[in-house]
Amino acid sequence: MKRSKQQTRLRILDASFGLFWRQGFLRVSMDDIAARAGITKRALYQHFPSKDDLMAATLAHSSKLAIERLHLFRRSPDVNKFIDSFFADLSEWASKPKWSGGGFTRVVVELADLRGHPARTIARNHKAAVEQWLAEGLAAGRISSPIERAREIMLLTEGAMALMLIHGDRGYSQTAARAAKRLVADR
Per residue in 71-112, pLDDT (tens digit) is 877 667 789 999 999 999 899 988 888 788 888 898 899 888
What is the tally of structural domains in the chain? 1
pTM for the complete prediction?
Answer: 0.88
* Angle, CA 94 vertex, CA 105 and CA 111 arms, to 5°: 15
Say if 45 falls within a structural domain: no
26 is a domain residue: no
Residue 39 domain-assigned (yes or no) = no
pLDDT of residue 187: 56
Amino acid identity, residue 4?
Answer: S
- pLDDT given at position 106: 87
CA distance 65 to 77: 24
In a domain? residue 148: yes
Residue 50: inside a domain, yes or no?
no
pLDDT in tens, 41-60: 999 999 999 999 999 999 99
CATH number at residue 80: 1.10.357.10
**Smallest Cα–Cα separation from 169: which of 104, 99, 108?**
99
Look at residue 35 and tell me if it is in a domain.
no
Q: Containing domain of residue 117, as a range? A: 55-185
| Contact indicator for 174, 73 with CB cutoff of 8 Å | no
Domain-embedded: residue 151:
yes
Q: Do residues 132 and 150 touch, judged by C-beta distance below 8 A?
A: yes
**Residue 106: inside a domain:** yes
Q: pLDDT tens digit string along 136-160?
A: 999 999 999 999 999 999 999 999 9
At residue 179 the predicted structure's pLDDT band, cuts being 50, 70 and 90, is very high
User: Considering Cα of 39, then 45, then 48, then 52, what sign does the dihedral take?
Assistant: positive
